[in-house]
Amino acid sequence: MKYKAVIFDLFGTLIPNFSEKEYRQIMGDVAINLLAPPEPFWEQWMATFTESILGISPDNEDKITRICRTLGVSPEQNKIVQTCGVLFDYEARSMVPRPEAAEVLSTIQQKGYKTGLISDCSSNTPILWENTGLKSFFEVTIFSCAVGIKKPDPCIYHMALEKLKVKPRDCLYIGDGSSYELTGALKVGMHPVWIRIPDEREDNFRIDEEDWDGPVISSLKEVLDLLQ
């Protein structure tokens, strides 16, 4: 076997990214409901993105409360709780695996490869992950908000490698290129591959996307070709 393990990113890889247009519209509606100005609210939301995915801001209620305080607005507590529900429901609707994801992951398992997941995400994601139907295909799952580390920090890759008990050179990494994840994987000695879905480039919500000149695939099914 050329590799012994495959580590996947989540958003933009196993699950399509949020539509940036739709996400901004949701956040605009949320701001209005909280009596906050939409554009400054969005700017504050994005400015505290890193705090969310590192678990510094433990949940949306905490984050929204602090943003409102920064913007000088004081919505009633029930409005904040209602807003958290709206955001949770939106993420739940959006967190649907690609149609081929389960089949591809099942085949990888059957071929004897170890599988891991590394996701830069906030506190709702580990909860919603339980209902995606993908959990059983993974031996190791690492969520940045739970471990306090995000890509491309080498520690988050090494954490997954150690849990899988594989060396970097024996591991394939598949991601959509957010958070400089591919360069991060390459620097620790893994074999990163950019998954670039042709119809998903124009309206995708991505953070710190990198320019990548390494291997590229256009569908999850192509991962199986890399394991031949």
Instruction: Convert the pLDDT of each residue in 25-58 to its tens digit.
Output: 999 999 999 999 999 999 999 999 999 999 999 8
Rounded-to-integer distance, Cα 220 and Cα 26, Å: 29
Percent of the chain residues topping a pLDDT of 90 = 87
Average pLDDT over residues 73-82: 95
Instruction: Convert the pLDDT of each residue in 153-209 to its tens digit.
Output: 999 999 999 999 999 999 999 999 999 999 999 999 999 999 998 876 666 666 667
> How does DSSP classify residue 153?
-
How much is the pTM?
0.93
Rounded-to-integer distance, Cα 169 and Cα 192, Å: 10
**Residue 89, Cβ neighbours under 10 Å: how many?**
11
**Residue 158's pLDDT is what?**
98
Average pLDDT over residues 112-116: 97
**Helical H runs in the chain?**
20-33, 38-47, 49-53, 60-71, 77-94, 101-110, 124-129, 144-147, 154-164, 181-187, 222-226
Rounded-to-integer distance, Cα 202 and Cα 228, Å: 32
Rounded-to-integer distance, Cα 227 and Cα 95, Å: 27
**Residue 71's pLDDT is what?**
96
Residue in the block written with tokens 């394991």: 227
Residues 6+ apart with CB under 8 A from 22: none
Average pLDDT over residues 110-129: 96
DSSP run (H or E) holding 172: strand 171-175
**Residue 62's pLDDT is what?**
94
Residues 6+ apart with CB under 8 A from 204: 12, 16, 17, 18, 19, 20
Rounded-to-integer distance, Cα 12 and Cα 173, Å: 14
Average pLDDT over residues 117-129: 96
Asked if the model's pLDDT at residue 111 lies above 70, the reply is yes
Residue in the block written with tokens 């400089």: 180
Q: Smallest Cα–Cα separation from 183: which of 143, 211, 206? A: 211
Identify the burial level of 186 via C-beta atoms within 10 angstroms of its C-beta, where 0-12 means exposed, 13-18 middle and 19 or more buried: middle
> How does DSSP classify residue 200?
G
